[in-house]
Amino acid sequence: MDMINDVKQFNRNGLLEWITQRVTSVVITVYVFFVTYYLLAHPDISYNEWRDLNSLFLMKTLNILTITSIAVHSIIGLWGVITDYITVRLLGPKAKLLNVFFSIRYYYNYINIFSLGNYYSLEHLSL
């Protein structure tokens, strides 16, 4: 019964990260399959058709969900690699310094991941 309560509470035992990675991978897969299908179904696609597709609300939503999913998926994956493989047991005393360096970079990227979206927006371009 203890395990069921742990699952329901989502306390920091890795379950939330595991579920998040699975959900984000499904979103990324759906996006890749849809874009691949669309490009195969329209082999002579023009810029105007591509722009019209991407101007749909559903496609804008899918684009944002996919970009966010890629960011979250990679952040969780990097965190897993850093905490699993940069250890004192595997790399010796230099592992502590590397772990601190990569952790700082990880948290820096985690904080700035969504603020960069404003910088790279296409609103300032006149198409």
pLDDT, position 59: 94
pLDDT, position 62: 94
pLDDT, position 71: 87
pLDDT, position 101: 76
> Which domains are delineated in the chain?
2-119 (1.20.1300.10)
pLDDT, position 37: 96
pLDDT, position 126: 46
CB 94 within 8 A of CB 39: no
pLDDT, position 22: 95
Query: In terms of pTM, does the model score above 0.75?
Result: no
Q: How far apart are CA 39 and CA 36, in angstroms?
A: 5
pLDDT, position 107: 67
Measure the N-to-C terminal CA separation of the chain; round to a whole number of Å.
Answer: 59
pLDDT, position 94: 76
pLDDT, position 123: 52
pLDDT, position 127: 44
pLDDT averaged per 10 residues, the chain (length 127): 52 78 96 96 93 94 93 85 76 75 69 54 47
